[in-house]
Structure 1
Amino acid sequence: MLKKIDGFILGLIGMIFLAWIFPQAGVYKGAVNLEVLTDIGIALIFFFYGLKLSPQQMKEGLSNYRLHVLVQLSTFLLFPLLVLVFLPLMQTEEQYILWLAMFFLAALPSTVSSSVVMVVLAKGNMPGAIFNASISGLIGIVVTPLWMGLFWKVEGASFDFTSIFQSLLIKILVPVIAGLLLHRYWGALVKRHLKLLARFDKTVILLIVYKSFSNSFSSGLFSTVSLLSLLIVGLASVALFGLVYYCIAWMAGRMHFNREDRIAALFCGSKKSLVHGTVFSKVLFQHVASQGLFLVPIMVYHAFQLIIVSFIAQRKGQEVVE
């Protein structure tokens, strides 16, 4: 598992390097360009995601409302509030942009596939994990732009919530609904090719990362951001995971969750989705020079959460066996 994770993380780093030395393909505006290709790729990602969703599994996880409340409040309220407390410390425009990138990470929905896989590995509440991880992405279509709109103060870039919401509906919700409607016909076929679909998802993500960083490098953004600032953002992303994980563990204990629900809450509530992060950044920051910068925290967080949660899940799964 770690080899696969490492390969994708290396791919993300490789796309940043490629965008640095050869940004031309990322900013090309011809008839067939990365903008068009990634838009098609995004629609297919969420169409296949809808095909994979089982209505029966969703129903099984629906009744556990206390678990749902904890996971969704952790994802869309606890995360943003923990980052929000640092806003008064931001004194310069560079600091504010870096803080906004961290806030974007905090406002994102939970990841789907890896959350469910980790919960299964740790022998937790799988139906509850499937429901929460799935519904989180749909809630994020509304909540993430709302959070970002409250603090959007980037010079030369407007934030039109209506057009952003419409774009997210078309690119995410419509394909998901189409996939759900066709699940009974093609769902079994899709489940037989999950590895192939995972490669497709990662390819689209890599293309979006390359395009985003091509725009940022072409505009000279990273020449104005210090290496120390980027290092601080990386360390802050890791620290945020640890703090949220501890808070969820404490709240699950106070709510007297059983072992299975506690694992589902920990793994679903502390995760952030790189898929949604890249897609949302493409919509929210499409005409912003700092688009690549907004992906730095989520890429660091993604790498760290997969490695550390994989280790935790394996340990918790072994506890049951022992």
Structure 2
Amino acid sequence: MAALRRWIDPYLLMLLGTVGLAALFPARGMWASIADEAVTIAVALLFFLYGARLAPSAIWAGLTNWRLQLTVFLSTFLFFPLIGLGAYAIAGHVLPGGIALGILFLCLLPSTVQSSIAFTSIARGNVPAALCSASLSNLIGVIITPLLAALLLPHGSGAGFSLGQLESIAMQILLPFAAGQAARPLIGGFILKHRVLTMVVDRGSILLVVYAAFSEGMVAGVWTQVSLADLALVLAFNAVLLGVVIAVTMVGSRRLGFSTEDEIAIVFCGSKKSMASGIPMATILFPGGAVSLIVLPLMIFHQLQLFVCAVLARRYGVRP
């Protein structure tokens, strides 16, 4: 079991269980309305905790290595979206429209925070720079991801940057995040001391969002569009996307003269995508019935990046 836990993220198993629960007992009628309200509260709570946990000093301390930060930023919000457009153009011919759209959407998301820093540490890389890059990516991603969605996602997909969506983003993401930053001097110590409590709230919020999204998809009948062949194709697309980005960030870092420690931070921060930010954003940017298909590639990519980066971190970590 210990070996299994090293290779399979227990949280992914919880996510799969939540999907199974939604398939067997989807929320309908009054319960669907209650689930939607709970999701709104959960997303706001999630980003409040992000704001309360993120130290402003950590952001400013990492900004001195501007070349590294710029490289990670370009990988996350320029290179990834560009290859995502190519993947979407191909996927649109072989996958259902919602899943193909989800492949492009995951390419627009910010990097992860916890796993990027953890893998950088395991690989003996530049941890302070990784902390800054991952934190900045999530902070900036709150604005850039919806803008990229409005710019790159096709018209008629349901995504955009209307005044209503801008208000939803401000009320559910930006305002709670700012409130968390303001409350950090009062509750930051408590949150750092009680990591298990905050982790339960953090992950529980995502599980609730996944349940509501997949329930709505079940009621709307969208899952009749997905086959095992579709899932295999999504895995293949994700593997190619991840492999290309890791290879480019690794080779590019060496060509640009970065140290091995900086290269590690660039590879791990520049090649990952955040499910914690992506699923809540999807519930705001897309119609409810489409969300379950759109986040499917992101959920598969999440596990794949953990597998690949775990192996890569170990290989980096055993160097002299």
Match of 2:237 in 1: 236
The answer for unaligned runs of 5 or more in structure 2 is: none
Q: Does 130-139 or 20-29 show the bigger shift?
A: 20-29
Task: Give, in angstroms, the shift of residue 288 of structure 1.
Answer: 4.0
Letter paired with 2:119:
M
Match of 2:46 in 1: 45
CA RMSD of aligned residues (A): 2.3
Letter paired with 1:300:
I
Given that 1:119 and 1:126 are in contact with CA atoms closer than 8 Å, whether structure 2 keeps it comes out as yes
Match of 2:259 in 1: 258
After TM superposition, the structure 1 = structure 2 runs for residues 80-95 of structure 1, keeping only pairs within 5 Å, are 80-89=81-90, 95=96
Q: Does 168-177 or 266-275 show the bigger shift?
A: 168-177
Q: Does 88-97 or 34-43 show the bigger shift?
A: 88-97
Letter paired with 2:164:
S
Distance 2:178 2:27 in 1: 36
Match of 1:219 in 2: 220
Identity across the alignment (%): 35
After TM superposition, the structure 1 = structure 2 runs for residues 139-218 of structure 1, keeping only pairs within 5 Å, are 139-150=140-151, 151-154=153-156, 157=158, 159-218=160-219
Match of 1:309 in 2: 309
Distance 1:93 1:158 in 2: 22
Spell out structure 1 runs of 4+ moving beyond 6 A. Answer: none
Distance of aligned partners of 1:62 and 1:26 in 2 relative to their CA distance in 1, 3 Å threshold:
farther
The answer for unaligned runs of 5 or more in structure 1 is: none
Q: Does 264-273 or 48-57 show the bigger shift?
A: 48-57
Distance 2:202 2:311 in 1: 24
Distance 2:219 2:258 in 1: 50
After TM superposition, the structure 1 = structure 2 runs for residues 27-176 of structure 1, keeping only pairs within 5 Å, are 28-30=31-33, 33-89=34-90, 95-150=96-151, 151-154=153-156, 157=158, 159-176=160-177
Task: Give, in angstroms, the shift of residue 29 of structure 1.
Answer: 4.1
Distance of aligned partners of 1:214 and 1:27 in 2 relative to their CA distance in 1, 3 Å threshold:
farther
Question: 1:236-284, CA deviations, whole angstroms, 9 ceiling, x for partnerless residues?
Answer: 1122111110011111111110122111101110110011111111101
Given that 1:27 and 1:211 are in contact with CA atoms closer than 8 Å, whether structure 2 keeps it comes out as no
Letter paired with 1:3:
R
Given that 2:99 and 2:297 are in contact with CA atoms closer than 8 Å, whether structure 1 keeps it comes out as no
Distance 2:246 2:95 in 1: 29
Question: 1:27-48, CA deviations, whole angstroms, 9 ceiling, x for partnerless residues?
Answer: 7344xx1222222222222222
Distance 2:47 2:236 in 1: 31
Letter paired with 1:54:
A
Given that 1:61 and 1:127 are in contact with CA atoms closer than 8 Å, whether structure 2 keeps it comes out as yes
Q: Does 306-315 or 211-220 show the bigger shift?
A: 306-315
Given that 2:125 and 2:260 are in contact with CA atoms closer than 8 Å, whether structure 1 keeps it comes out as yes
Distance 2:86 2:70 in 1: 23
Distance of aligned partners of 1:312 and 1:195 in 2 relative to their CA distance in 1, 3 Å threshold:
farther
Please, which of 6, 13, 17 is the counterpart of residue 16 of structure 2?
13
Match of 1:291 in 2: 291
Distance 1:85 1:178 in 2: 38
Given that 1:27 and 1:215 are in contact with CA atoms closer than 8 Å, whether structure 2 keeps it comes out as no
Number of aligned pairs? 316
